[in-house]
Structure 1
């Protein structure tokens, strides 16, 4: 599965990317509710001039790719539970699962992606949430099964299976500071500390850039090239 970053601009209408700092505590799973959608199509919808909704999300997955639409250290409007600092909108990474094409492959891709994200953060399936858990909306709808949520149980089992037996990755949270100011948590993975580039760069007054074609992140300080 290809993972690409195509962030929507800050000026996207209806404040779909407000740029509020987020320290994620969970990952929330959704279905798109559109049986004809693709990851590329859902990304395009976020900046479509005819879209008058505020709703947004961090990542969308289909049978071929995953597209990151909003940085994972910023909030998006996906949980339907308001803007309080304890809301799902402000504390959870929103992942949309497309419903078109080979749905079994899409689920496989989503489970693989979620497992990798959990591993990187030292989390377990206990950090997974449904849209339903935040606002009561029947979503992810294809996992509902008339209220039995058998699809949700099966998806969590898929993710759990991918987490099993991987003892090579040992991850834990690691705090870090820039000029004495606490920043969003980094990660300690196999003895190496990893920090969010955006948070570290902006704390140093640098401009953070992303070259999507060459998949290169950059930091530019004042006077730098």
Structure 2
């Protein structure tokens, strides 16, 4: 799968790239809701002058490629839950999964992409969110399955398998405490305990930063 960056201009109408700094803590999964559109079409729609919606996303993926449309350290309008400091719009990287063409291949690409992003950040599948989790919208709709969300559970398990070699249910969890206070769980893989860096760092009062271009995580206190 090709991964490329094609950022929409800051001047894009309807404030779709608001230039609000973001330190993401989760990744939110969406479906595009368009059965005839490829990733390139979705990227073009963001700057189409007939588009009057104040809505945007970070990454869109199809059966051939993934396109990063807004830098991952900036907010996008995708969660439908406003602009509060703890909203999905202000804290979560959004990934749109295209519904056109070979959807199984697109889903394979999305699984690999999400697993790679989680691994780069030292995160587990507990950092994954649905659009539904932020605003109650039935999205990603192709994972809804009449309210059972079996597609969502399967997607998370596939990401966990890609990430750790085990599905989510079989990953050995590690409870993590900082000064006696429980924080987010880590996991055990091949004899090593992986601890969520942001959760642990912030519990110590440190500022945690991720440089996606240089792939550097830093803690400053």
After TM superposition, the score normalised by the length of structure 2 is 0.78
2:144–2:150 contact (8 Å) kept in structure 1: yes
Q: Is the 8 A contact 1:36 1:99 kept in 2?
A: yes
What is residue 35 of structure 1 aligned with on the other side? 35
Q: 1:173 Cα deviation (Å)?
A: 3.8
Q: Is this contact kept in 1: 2:120–2:215, CA < 8 A?
A: no
Question: Is 2:74 the partner of 1:74?
Answer: yes
Aligned positions, number:
185
Query: What residue number does 1:65 align with?
Result: 65
Q: Which runs of 5+ in 1 are unaligned?
A: 176-181, 197-225
SS in 2 for 1:160: helix
TM-score with structure 1 setting the length: 0.77
Distance 1:22 1:9, change over 3 A: same
Q: Would the aligned equivalents of 1:173 and 1:185 in 2 still touch at CA under 8 Å?
A: no
1:21/1:73 contact within 8 Å kept = yes
1:76-123 deviations in Å (ceiling 9; x for gaps): 000000000100000000000000000000000000000000000000
**Does the residue aligned with 2:10 lie in a helix, a strand or coil?**
coil
CA positional deviation for 1:164: 1.4
Aligned to 1:204: none
| 2:221 maps to 1:194 | no
Change in 2 beyond 3 A, CA 1:134/1:172: closer
- Pairwise CA distance, 1:21: 0.3
8 Å CA contact retained: 1:120, 1:171: no
Question: Is the 2:59–2:95 contact (alpha carbons within 8 Å) kept by the matching residues of 1?
Answer: yes
CA offsets, 1:144-198, max 9 Å, x none? 0000001101111110110114869x786488xxxxxx976137xxxx97169xx
| Contact 1:121 1:171 (C-alpha < 8 Å) held by counterparts | no
Structure 2 residue ranges without an equivalent (≥5): 166-188
Matches within 5 A, 1:104-143: 104-143=104-143
After superposing on structure 2, the runs of 4+ consecutive aligned residues of structure 1 that deviate more than 6 Å are: none
Give the alignment's Cα RMSD to 1 decimal. Answer: 2.3
Aligned partner of 2:209 among 185, 190, 196 = 185
Aligned residue in 1 for 2:185: none
Query: Is 2:55 the counterpart of 1:45?
Result: no
